Amino acid sequence: MAKKFLVDIDLNKNELQNAIVQNLATDPNSPVKGQMYFNTTSNRFRIYDGTVWEELGTGTGTVTSVGILNEDGSLTVSGSPITKSGNITVAHTNSIEAKEEQGIYPVAIDKNGHITAVGEALTTVSKTKEGLIPAFSEENKDAAKVTETDYVYEAVSGKYKQLPEEAFKDTTYEDGETGFVQKAKQDQNGNVIDTYYAPIESPTLTGTPKAPKAASGDNSDQIATTSFVTEAVSGVVGAMHFKGTVGGDGATVTELPSEDVKAGDTYKVAEAGGYDSKQAKVGDLFIAQDETPTWVYVPSGDETGITSITAGEGLTGGTITSTGTIALDESGVEAGEYQGLTIDKHGRVTAAEDKGYTTNTGTVTSVTITGEKGITATGDPITAEGTITVGHTNEITEQQTQAVYPIAIDTYGHITGYGEAVEVIKKYTETITGDDDTTEFTVTHSLGTKDVTIQIYDTTTNEDVIVDTTRTDENTVKVSFASAPSSEQSYQVVIIG
């Protein structure tokens, strides 16, 4: 049973070790800002920002600092880093003469693919078939113009393709807007390639595309492959890793593994039964505490409570499944005074009768009292009238101050001695009820000491709750809540001291 804390908890900068965040399949009701739990459906942590539930680990959030590293010196960077707001300026270090006219230019390129120098144009690009420069290949390297088998880059579609048939007629060919840019799609040997490639900007890929795997720990903008992500996630120490289900057909494993286990590996029970010496039900979790492995059993918390109560022997009420009353059954004996009684094992009178006993009257002619077992008797026998004195054989110092004393008792039940008085522990109880506004309640116990123990529990659930308590003085204490209890909430305050 979970303890209810009705005040904040200050760990005074100490660690909270071996803790598990609350596991839920759906968002809890009535959340407060900053509330957090582990969603067992998405297997991610979720936190409430005061408006919506945000899921951690999805790449969303607020950037608090941005910096740009000029790794090889090929760019100029100014304004970095930014910790709140601002502009970062990035520019090339090289500068060349711009070429406004389309053409084929001899160029020099650095290791980053930047053009660092450009020569004079070899020729120009035209929109007519007569002016187009042929694609470079072994077959047409000496050709004077583009042929029907050459491929050029079409700027509108962004793809390499052959010129349309209209481009080779006697009439002048215009493509409408941008024209065909002089480029040939070739392999390393200069052969024309007639397949399409995805554009550099916002490509849409199909099939199973592959990419170079980044080095472990890489934090750049390089594409992360599935193998890189898998290794990165499996390398996290102490986090929960959902490995699948255990038990039954279709489960990930039939038994909890004993080898190749990492701390945080988590399995969900798919079929009720015995696992790691624990009787588990569907939905329970087993989490590896270490690589040994030591499995921690986490029940799902859906146990059912009492569904019915049946009245036993000597009681009425039958079987109660919701509400009802259980009472003593009638014994069949009418109320009255009797001399003979029959009592059953439950302490009930099951039969009664008048035995006819009478009270004897007459004159006492002689009375004798014998003193035994710690009692003395003098003055007997008395045959007419007189006084018999009866007393105890032991004698102790009289004590008229009321208190609790440790005592010695003889076999006859007589106190033969006593020690010093001891303090008596007293108890005071009081019920406090909320009003949706008050957060502090004063309880007057009048026990005359600050050395008291204070305990508080919910009168509805009978569960202990944790609140702030202050011993105001020897007779009063203050009970404080972080949030005001509602008018429907009552708490019992128990003070012992």
Amino acid at 302: D
* Residues 17, 375: Cα–Cα separation, whole Å: 69
Q: Are 148 and 126 in contact (CB under 8 A)?
A: no
458: three-class secondary structure by DSSP: strand
Alpha carbon separation from 293 to 14, 85, 256, 264, 297 (Å, rounded): 28, 48, 10, 10, 13
Give pLDDT tens digits for 311-335.
Answer: 777 677 777 766 777 777 776 777 7
Greater model confidence, 318 or 487: 487
* Residue 58 confidence (pLDDT): 60
- Per-residue confidence at 59, pLDDT binned at 50, 70, 90? low
- Per-residue confidence at 307, pLDDT binned at 50, 70, 90? low
| Mean pLDDT computed over every residue of the chain | 76
Specify the residue for token string 């945080």: 264
* Residue 194 confidence (pLDDT): 53
* Residue 145 confidence (pLDDT): 47
Cα angle vertex 140, ends 135, 145, to 5°?
A: 65
* Residue 284 confidence (pLDDT): 92
- Per-residue confidence at 80, pLDDT binned at 50, 70, 90? low
Q: H or E stretch including 230?
A: helix 226-234
* Residue 97 confidence (pLDDT): 81
**Boundaries of every domain in the chain:** 125-199, 213-304, 427-496
Separation of CA 465 from chain center: 20
Q: Across residues 214-228, what is the average pLDDT?
A: 86
Give pLDDT tens digits for 11-58.
Answer: 778 788 888 999 999 999 999 999 999 999 999 999 999 999 999 876
316: three-class secondary structure by DSSP: strand
Give pLDDT tens digits for 253-274.
Answer: 999 999 988 888 899 999 999 9
Token duo for residue 137: 């290949």
* Residues 425, 495: Cα–Cα separation, whole Å: 10
Greater model confidence, 496 or 198: 496
Q: Which of 91-95, 251-255, 410-414 has the lowest mean pLDDT?
A: 91-95
Burial status of residue 443 (CB atoms within 10 A of its CB: 0-12, 13-18, 19 or more): buried
Token duo for residue 315: 């009681």
Backbone angle region of 457, left / alpha / beta, with phi > 0 → left and psi within -120 to 50 → alpha? beta
Give pLDDT tens digits for 144-191.
Answer: 445 555 555 554 554 555 555 554 443 333 444 333 333 344 444 445
Q: Which of 102-111, 235-244, 302-311, 443-452 has the lowest mean pLDDT?
A: 302-311
Greater model confidence, 444 or 106: 444
Q: Which CATH architecture has domain 427-496?
A: Sandwich (2.60)
* Residues 142, 185: Cα–Cα separation, whole Å: 18
Alpha carbon separation from 238 to 19, 45, 218, 316 (Å, rounded): 11, 14, 21, 57
